[in-house]
Chain A
């Protein structure tokens, strides 16, 4: 299906430590952070990564839709990340050279993102869909996109989105995750809107060497031009960061017949139930 409608897609995202790494909090010069933070492999925040897939799909389905990726992170990490990301789909990179970590205030991150978006040449906010992850793998607060949207004056916002279906008139419907594994379906008249993606439904985009080469020609200069932003937030601090200390004494049951195991589990399930 091809729709004769143009969106301006702006994906907001930051780098996060690969979620499968072991993480340990440390305090350096009074600031909370992670042990070996700059050595940890960084990835694009997983939900943002999904939104990149969705943006690529929406561009295919529509006409002249452009994709901008506004990425926050230390320059060196952004550069590393782009080596992988640039192979996925064509985008214009707007790099914001700033620390990326869970213990940073989402308000300063949102302000930096909103400023960067406003400065994108030729961007028509009335055609803009701001994409991003509905919650990061670092701060996991799920607040940044709302704040960005508000700063841009965009009040139609949707989060935990797993599906966006565009209509011929530029409108679209979205499915947002709600409780109990269900989705809320909402019809939207069209851009502007903020879409905070959950996992979506698309497979990972393949790596395409041609796209990579095309992207890279623009990406390296964009990283070179990245504006350094201080994300310090007055009056905000995260203290006493710690790993959970819990270690349970596990009783290991071996060589028990299946029926006996089942009986014990049944008894356990039934135990302590009210009524």
Chain B
């Protein structure tokens, strides 16, 4: 029977991530258009039936694929398990969170099921009796809606785009375990690594994003550069206010060039056209010069303020709620107090 299958990675005794619940919320939005039932497909380790039970109210059926090797992400194993769940469920629509894990593996599962895949979906709407999936193109610069006639249609759901589904009310889904052996693997997960010298400055769950631009390391009004001082002020701010750090392309490039730069900046910090578009409730841009294409880096920031000496700063005019025309060093010294 055609249904909507939501694929989620799960572990026994671990609560589901907010992203997983948002994907279930997306399934509800899709279900309202296509009028089909929602099932859930759990991939992970341990006894996943417990996790399925906790999804009462959000899904009618649950399919589980459990294997100790699925504790860690890995394309080959994840794509295999997901494809098996899809086949077992007979789903016509397959949704998964646009997490690093499913962004990798879902397209592979789609190909194995003879399906089609689209990613980073942010909305559903009805168009001519069918569901159209909205997403951004050209790195958040052009919005478009996809229509597909062939399925099964696999989609990853962008974080922050749908409300979390309410779970734990109503009947628990009927659980069907899929018992298959994973294929022999030629790869082994060794663990997580941090390349930015142990300083964890990217915090996706933070409420506030601080965008530090190249202006921090440019010549200041006394005619001298103050990169070391800038580093101290930025790190103090991140710590005090629990903020996540982003940077402009110019600032990241400076770090890569080995010039006078903020040493903790890596390519991963970059937001905008050639970087990430993080989602946070608030964003504070500092010393970011008016690089129009990079300003898309904070498209998904709800409340935006900027500090810059230039009143025509492109990050601010028409893009931020408030622009403080001020010396960021002075303001950050005050903020550190």
A–B contact at 8 Å CB threshold (below): yes
User: Given A143-B117, A268-B282, A238–B145 Cβ distance below 8 Å?
Assistant: yes
Specify which chain B residues have a CB less than 8 angstroms from the CB of A268 in the assembled complex: 282, 303, 305, 322
CA distance A17 to B141 in the complex (A): 13
Please determine whether B324 and A102 come into contact, CB atoms closer than 8 angstroms: no
Taking the complex as formed, is A169 at the interface, i.e. its CB lies under 8 A from any CB of chain B?
A: no
Selected contact of B334 from candidates A23, A142, A238, A259, CB within 8 Å: A259
Which residues between 256 and 275 of chain A lie within 8 Å of chain B, taking CB atoms? 256, 258-259, 261-266, 268-269, 272-273
Which residues between 22 and 60 of chain A lie within 8 Å of chain B, taking CB atoms? 22-23, 25, 32, 34, 46
Interface range, B side: 35 or more
Specify which chain B residues have a CB less than 8 angstroms from the CB of A190 in the assembled complex: 186
Please determine whether A157 and B137 come into contact, CB atoms closer than 8 angstroms: no
Which residues between 201 and 224 of chain A lie within 8 Å of chain B, taking CB atoms? 203
Specify which chain B residues have a CB less than 8 angstroms from the CB of A84 in the assembled complex: none
User: Given A179-B204, A248-B320, A252-B325, A188–B144 Cβ distance below 8 Å?
Assistant: no
Specify which chain B residues have a CB less than 8 angstroms from the CB of A238 in the assembled complex: 137, 144-147
User: Given A150-B108, A252-B323, A155–B79 Cβ distance below 8 Å?
Assistant: yes
User: Given A183-B194, A184-B189, A137–B200 Cβ distance below 8 Å?
Assistant: no
CA distance A137 to B319 in the complex (A): 22
Contact with A along B103-144 (1 / 0, CB 8 A): 111011011100011111000000100001000111101111
Taking the complex as formed, is B226 at the interface, i.e. its CB lies under 8 A from any CB of chain A?
A: no
Contact with B along A123-163 (1 / 0, CB 8 A): 00000000000000111111100110111000111111010
Please determine whether B144 and A250 come into contact, CB atoms closer than 8 angstroms: no
Taking the complex as formed, is B192 at the interface, i.e. its CB lies under 8 A from any CB of chain A?
A: yes
Please determine whether A186 and B74 come into contact, CB atoms closer than 8 angstroms: yes
Of A3-11, A63-71, A229-237, which binds chain B?
Answer: A229-237
Taking the complex as formed, is B274 at the interface, i.e. its CB lies under 8 A from any CB of chain A?
A: yes
Most buried by A among B127, B274, B299, B326: B326
CA distance A107 to B153 in the complex (A): 12
Taking the complex as formed, is A189 at the interface, i.e. its CB lies under 8 A from any CB of chain B?
A: yes
CA distance A213 to B216 in the complex (A): 42
Shortest distance in angstroms between B323's beta carbon and chain A's nearest beta carbon? 5
User: Given A102-B142, A179-B99, A236-B116, A258–B327 Cβ distance below 8 Å?
Assistant: yes
Taking the complex as formed, is B149 at the interface, i.e. its CB lies under 8 A from any CB of chain A?
A: yes
Please determine whether B186 and A189 come into contact, CB atoms closer than 8 angstroms: yes
Selected contact of A157 from candidates B104, B320, B337, CB within 8 Å: B104
Taking the complex as formed, is B50 at the interface, i.e. its CB lies under 8 A from any CB of chain A?
A: no
Please determine whether B149 and A243 come into contact, CB atoms closer than 8 angstroms: no
The interface on chain A, measured as residues whose beta carbon lies within 8 A of the other chain's beta carbons, has a size of 87
Please determine whether B100 and A179 come into contact, CB atoms closer than 8 angstroms: yes
Specify which chain A residues have a CB less than 8 angstroms from the CB of B104 in the assembled complex: 142, 146, 157-160, 176
Shortest distance in angstroms between B147's beta carbon and chain A's nearest beta carbon? 5
Please determine whether A237 and B146 come into contact, CB atoms closer than 8 angstroms: yes
Taking the complex as formed, is A121 at the interface, i.e. its CB lies under 8 A from any CB of chain B?
A: no
Specify which chain A residues have a CB less than 8 angstroms from the CB of B103 in the assembled complex: 142, 159
Please determine whether B193 and A262 come into contact, CB atoms closer than 8 angstroms: no
CA distance A263 to B292 in the complex (A): 29
Taking the complex as formed, is A79 at the interface, i.e. its CB lies under 8 A from any CB of chain B?
A: no
Contact with A along B23-67 (1 / 0, CB 8 A): 000000000000000000000000000000000000000000000
Identify the closest chain A residue to B207 (Cβ).
Answer: A273
Selected contact of B203 from candidates A180, A256, A263, CB within 8 Å: A180
Specify which chain B residues have a CB less than 8 angstroms from the CB of A185 in the assembled complex: 189-193
Please determine whether B305 and A142 come into contact, CB atoms closer than 8 angstroms: no
Specify which chain B residues have a CB less than 8 angstroms from the CB of A263 in the assembled complex: 334
Identify the closest chain A residue to B108 (Cβ).
Answer: A146
Of B4-12, B161-169, B170-178, B310-318, which binds chain A?
Answer: B310-318
Specify which chain B residues have a CB less than 8 angstroms from the CB of A256 in the assembled complex: 324, 326
Please determine whether B147 and A239 come into contact, CB atoms closer than 8 angstroms: yes
Please determine whether B334 and A258 come into contact, CB atoms closer than 8 angstroms: yes
Specify which chain A residues have a CB less than 8 angstroms from the CB of B16 in the assembled complex: none
User: Given A157-B75, A240-B144, A253-B324, A140–B137 Cβ distance below 8 Å?
Assistant: yes
Selected contact of A150 from candidates B72, B112, B137, B319, CB within 8 Å: B112
Taking the complex as formed, is B179 at the interface, i.e. its CB lies under 8 A from any CB of chain A?
A: no
Selected contact of A269 from candidates B73, B208, B319, CB within 8 Å: B208
Please determine whether A262 and B334 come into contact, CB atoms closer than 8 angstroms: yes
Please determine whether B334 and A186 come into contact, CB atoms closer than 8 angstroms: no
What 8 A-B pairs have minimum CB-CB distances, sorted nearest first?
A: A235-B149, A181-B202, A262-B334, A258-B330, A146-B107, A150-B111, A143-B107, A189-B186
Interface positions of A (Cβ within 8 A of B) = 17, 19-23, 25, 32, 34, 46, 102-103, 105-107, 137-143, 146-147, 149-151, 155-160, 162, 173, 175-190, 198-199, 203, 234-244, 247-256, 258-259, 261-266, 268-269, 272-273
Interface contacts beyond A184-B73, A236-B149: sample of 17 additional A-B pairs, CB < 8 Å, sorted by A: A22-B292, A23-B138, A23-B142, A137-B273, A155-B108, A158-B104, A159-B100, A178-B192, A180-B202, A183-B194, A183-B195, A184-B72, A189-B187, A238-B147, A250-B318, A261-B334, A262-B332
What are 8 contact pairs spanning A and B, CB under 8 A? A137-B139, A141-B117, A180-B203, A187-B187, A236-B150, A253-B325, A265-B307, A265-B335
Interface positions of B (Cβ within 8 A of A) = 72-76, 79-80, 99-101, 103-105, 107-108, 110-112, 116-120, 127, 132, 136-139, 141-150, 183, 186-196, 200-204, 207-208, 241, 256, 266-269, 273-274, 281-282, 284, 291-293, 299, 303-305, 307, 311, 316-327, 330-335, 337
